[in-house]
Amino acid sequence: MAVISKILFPVDFSPSCVAMAAYVKRAATVFGAKIFLAYVVDLMSHNALELYVRQAPDISEEHLQIGREKLDSFLAREFPVADCPRLLASGDAATEIAQLARDGRFDLIIMPTHAGRFRRMLLGSTTSKVLNEVDCPVLTSQHAETISPRPLAHREVLCAIDLSLYSRKVLRFASKVADEANCKLTIIHAVKTQESLRAEHALDGECPSTAESEARRRIVELQGAMGTDAAVHIAAGHAKGALLEAARQSDADVLMMGRSPQSGGFGRLRDLTYAIARDSPCPVLSI
């Protein structure tokens, strides 16, 4: 069974969504997946004049009709309606997208982040709420307006793991994706620098040079248990900076990493996941 057979592409008709279309098409081509476009109508966006001259149910019905027409015509050349179904919902965008993903049992959600202030304020956005609520993997892009996807022949994937129990799930998914898409897979793990380790272990006498070798030993054991044989890169430094620098140097198509398996509050979208999704030089697929 294909690891990714159904892709949900939420749209809001923005330039970022238009730019993101190329990524969505590339992913569908690589995996042979079917694309579904989704739009959530905000029925609370009535203005005072509308409410003064008309009944609220009539206004809502009109907004839904307008939303349906816009959705059916949006990116019609790139995603013909006959081949790429359209899903219309109403309410809070993040809540409805998460519900559509659950009800439709989608394998992947692809969403852009917008340039500038929006991207820096990702924690307050629809994208961050979706990341925090859904169970399926979510791919978020860097500034979609200023970049274009790699040629299909360029397929390199980074898989960041922290060697927690959840790393098995992340590596399993990354390995399946790499095999199915014929990608080169590299595991990346961050260890603290020698200087910071010396400071931390000065009192207990632990040798800081063992940190990298211990990480490599555990990754060998993990790969042995998982049946994988990916290349391994140990990045030195604090996690965020080390992972971002490794992503910049790798020229990867995508960086895969885990989200906390617990939803709500600061559950799935932990500080590190947010920071990487916000600042990564390549798209981030969080699992």
pLDDT digits (tens, 9 = 90+) for 199-213: 444 444 445 468 889
> Which pLDDT score is estimated for 133?
87
- Between the two ends of the chain, the Cα-to-Cα distance in Å is 19
Do residues 134 and 109 touch, judged by C-beta distance below 8 A? Answer: yes
> Which pLDDT score is estimated for 15?
84
Which DSSP state fits 153? Answer: T
- What gap in Å lies between CA 143 and CA 273, rounded to an integer? 17
Residue with tokens 């238009």: 18
Dump pLDDT digits (tens) for 155-201: 899 999 999 888 999 999 999 999 999 999 999 999 876 554 444 44
Residue 114 has pLDDT above 70, yes or no: no
> Which pLDDT score is estimated for 1?
73
Residue 120 has pLDDT above 60, yes or no: no
Count of Cβ atoms closer than 10 Å to residue 150 Cβ: 16
Q: What would the two tokens of residue 241 be?
A: 């900076």
Do residues 108 and 136 touch, judged by C-beta distance below 8 A? Answer: yes
Which helix (H) or strand (E) segment holds residue 38: the answer is strand 34-41
Region 54-67 average pLDDT:
76
Do residues 5 and 107 touch, judged by C-beta distance below 8 A? Answer: yes
Region 52-57 average pLDDT:
56
Type of residue numbered 200: E
Domain ranges of the chain: 1-149, 150-287
CATH number of 150-287: 3.40.50.360, 3.40.50.620, 2.60.40.3500, 1.10.940.10?
A: 3.40.50.620
Dump pLDDT digits (tens) for 127-150: 888 888 898 999 987 655 555 666
- What gap in Å lies between CA 125 and CA 260, rounded to an integer? 18
Which DSSP state fits 268? Answer: S
> Which pLDDT score is estimated for 215?
92
Length of the chain: 287
Q: Which of 280, 278, 282 is nearest to 131 (CA)?
A: 278
CATH number of 1-149: 3.30.413.10, 3.40.50.620, 3.40.50.2300, 3.30.565.10?
A: 3.40.50.620
Dump pLDDT digits (tens) for 213-263: 999 999 999 999 999 999 999 988 888 888 899 888 988 889 999 986 554
Region 61-65 average pLDDT:
86
> Which pLDDT score is estimated for 123?
41
Region 50-68 average pLDDT:
71
Region 52-62 average pLDDT:
65
> Which pLDDT score is estimated for 232?
96
Do residues 185 and 230 touch, judged by C-beta distance below 8 A? Answer: yes
Residue 35 has pLDDT above 80, yes or no: yes
> Which pLDDT score is estimated for 279?
83
